[in-house]
Amino acid sequence: MSEKQNNQNGSSHAAVLVIMEMTDNMARFNRILKNEEYKAVLREIEIIEKGRKFCPHTIEHFLDTARIMYIISLEKDLKISKDIIYAAALLHDVGRVSEYKEGKAHEIVSADFAMKILPECGFTNDEIFDIVNAILCHGNGKSRENALGNLLYRADKLSRNCFCCNAANECYWDDSIKNKEIIY
């Protein structure tokens, strides 16, 4: 085999490894999406929020939050794994149904839900600890000491398109924290 062919084989082998690694990295947070309990809770939120004029808690909100978290983490070189970022964002608001129906704090219900399904999705105990803690403090900004929680809090707020929201005048958010322009 010529050196050129060797190089070509070497680079295509490397490309396959990169693709395999990407698929592997994607696998764990995509397992959340495929989890039946997760799918059921998304449907429940959709039903209970039907007609809600304020920010909904849909998969779009979860993904907007995840992607903003990921962008900020890259910009700031936070070195937080994509799996952990997406897991925290996908799960942070799943407790909304219990909040609407039973008045429970959704952060706590979401954290309980995360503890239940994340082991099945292949997350380690240390990762689950970080994700759950971030979820628990995502609503109140008390996560300043917690890099993942801080990131989740910021991205959660930044994900909302206040600048084109018809319900902005009735929204309980203080005007100072409403998003007046696009940042991410």
Among positions 64, 99, 127, 156, the unique one binding Fe ion when judged by CB under 5 A: 156
Q: Which is nearer to Fe ion, 93 or 130 (CB)?
A: 93
- Residues 25 to 64: which contact Fe ion by CB under 5 A? none
Report the 10 Å Cβ neighbour count for 102: 8
What mask of x and - would describe binding to Fe ion in positions 109 to 148, judged by CB under 5 A? ------------------------------x---------
Token pair 């100072």 is found at: 176
Tokens of 100: 């609407």
Calpha distance 63→116 (Å, rounded): 21
- Stretch in the footprint of Fe ion (CB under 5 A) among 32-40, 46-54, 117-125, 154-162: 154-162
Closest CA to 128 of 95, 83, 98: 83
What is the smallest separation between the CB atom of 146 and Fe ion, expressed in angstroms?
Answer: 15
What mask of x and - would describe binding to Fe ion in positions 85 to 114, judged by CB under 5 A? --------x---------------------
What is the total count of residues that contact Fe ion (CB under 5 A)?
Answer: 3
What is the smallest separation between the CB atom of 80 and Fe ion, expressed in angstroms?
Answer: 18
Tokens of 6: 């060797």
What is the smallest separation between the CB atom of 113 and Fe ion, expressed in angstroms?
Answer: 13
Rounded to the nearest 10°, the torsion over CA 56, 59, 61, 65 is 150
**CB–CB of 110/93 below 8 Å?**
yes
The separation between the first and the last C-alpha atoms of the chain, rounded to the nearest angstrom, is 49
Binding residues (CB under 5 A) for Fe ion: these are 93, 139, 156
